[in-house]
Structure 1
């Protein structure tokens, strides 16, 4: 890996950002678009050298980075993979991202790695395991980790905590931060017939450092009820934009990422979504200032 010009993390601004995709490397390097930050999946850059690192190094010289992991398996009922954690530590030392995040999920069992992010039962045992793993990660990396709320389709009958209480207790025990995925909130709330706005109201918003926005696929279950699948393969849904506006009215402007992991469109399409997020942030802040002045 080639080191970027700065080994000090750049603060992620309260602006719109985009997930970095190979399809857009050359456009970004050559055109230097006005964008707040880029986010990369850690596992895509754990190899040694090659074009991905050359492009990422060039982009890191000009933009802050957020690093998003999908392979630590924080919720797994097994020890963390220390080799994976060491690769992650080296990657963070190399690129000095402003933020690092992972999922409240598990994706490994025995010696197998599963190509999915699977839900965690909200029990005391799972809480202790997740907290222990986050402590290990933060100690190894020497920095705070952000934990992302999951997209879920069913609830575990054995759960003894609500999702919100579980997440709040993880934060209390570990001091980790949070990544609020608004699309995940909408997907899970629709699938489990809950109020997504009530979820935002009860979320530990003071600990949120980054927001994700993405698209989903609409389907139906065997009873004909709406079923949303977290596919990241289409534009952000209008209902997710509405929920995002509701959230940022409470958080204030915050680093907001547009995620697109399949059917990746041309760069201007994603840039327009990042710009829309910034417009919503400005409108929410203006409204808040107006309300304060009227008091």
Structure 2
């Protein structure tokens, strides 16, 4: 494994990144931004692919939707995977597609809506993940969400939900450390770092295939996963714990709003790289 962290490749950095090619473990892009068969964005992605490994991270598969996966979306993703040959493909444990009534057209909420941690939700998620993996002919990673509500019928811990998903479908988990911290803070955990470390410890070895780091903000008493600032100290602490438990895993620094100069993002990635270099090999 290349023991350098990666960054999300965002439009403000396209030209500078291609021109300077700073040392990175990989770059990650939102799959949906590159579904077109041509154009400037795809040309940039092809140039980035010549310099770096590329990870495709989706936000629109809606893997937890009872309405199933959108065939058009999956067609486009398959074409992009064939074109780019990414090191990883990932999306979220979320739903977004639903039919308002029997026989009605399926609507897309254009958001990452949380799932209930129930056997029924797990069955839907496993079926959709297996369908996507069969189509892509590869294992995908599924990311845990930052969620601002929970469901009365939740019947299992989130860690059990993910462990069972990975066992039944053969997928892996994309562990977003910032998301578990946001959830711990919003739940009023007395020791959020300890709470998040316990979450990490409850995950089986071998299921985590990538780690995400990002910044969060606080507004009107709510902690929001906005990806708009530096990684917080508490998130770094949980990241270090995850590396001690699982070993060195591909790690990404996300920054999606109020995008800073590339140099700022590279410094965040370098901090993650230092932790990776100190970690044991992944187990």
Do the structures match in fold with TM over 0.5? yes
SS at match of 1:89: helix
Q: What is the Cα deviation at residue 15 of structure 1?
A: 2.2
Partners of 2:39 and 2:53 lie apart in 1 by 21
Match of 1:183 in 2: 178
Match of 2:45 in 1: 56
Distance 1:174 1:14, change over 3 A: farther
How big is the alpha-carbon RMSD for the aligned residues of Structure 1 and Structure 2?
1.6
- Report whether the alignment pairs 1:249 with 2:233: no
SS at match of 1:61: helix
CA contact (8 A) 1:153 1:192 kept: no
Partners of 2:2 and 2:90 lie apart in 1 by 16
CA contact (8 A) 1:14 1:253 kept: yes
Number of positions where the alignment pairs a residue of Structure 1 with one of Structure 2: 271
Partners of 1:205 and 1:117 lie apart in 2 by 27
Normalising by structure 2, we get a TM-score of 0.92
Match of 1:27 among 5, 8, 16: 16
Match of 2:5 in 1: 16
- Report whether the alignment pairs 1:38 with 2:27: yes
Normalising by structure 1, we get a TM-score of 0.88
List per-residue Cα deviations over 1:222-272 (Å, max 9, x = no partner).
Answer: xxxxx3111111111111011111111111111100111111111011111
SS at match of 2:126: helix
Match of 2:80 in 1: 91
Q: What is the Cα deviation at residue 220 of structure 1?
A: 4.5
CA contact (8 A) 1:15 1:253 kept: no
Q: Which runs of 5+ in 2 are unaligned?
A: 100-105, 190-194
Match of 2:188 in 1: 193
Match of 1:266 among 261, 268, 271: 261
Match of 1:290 in 2: none
CA contact (8 A) 1:103 1:149 kept: yes
Partners of 2:158 and 2:142 lie apart in 1 by 13
Partners of 1:220 and 1:24 lie apart in 2 by 32
SS at match of 2:55: strand
Q: What is the Cα deviation at residue 154 of structure 1?
A: 2.4
Partners of 1:91 and 1:263 lie apart in 2 by 28
In terms of mean alpha carbon deviation, does 138-147 or 23-32 score higher?
23-32
Q: What is the Cα deviation at residue 205 of structure 1?
A: 3.9
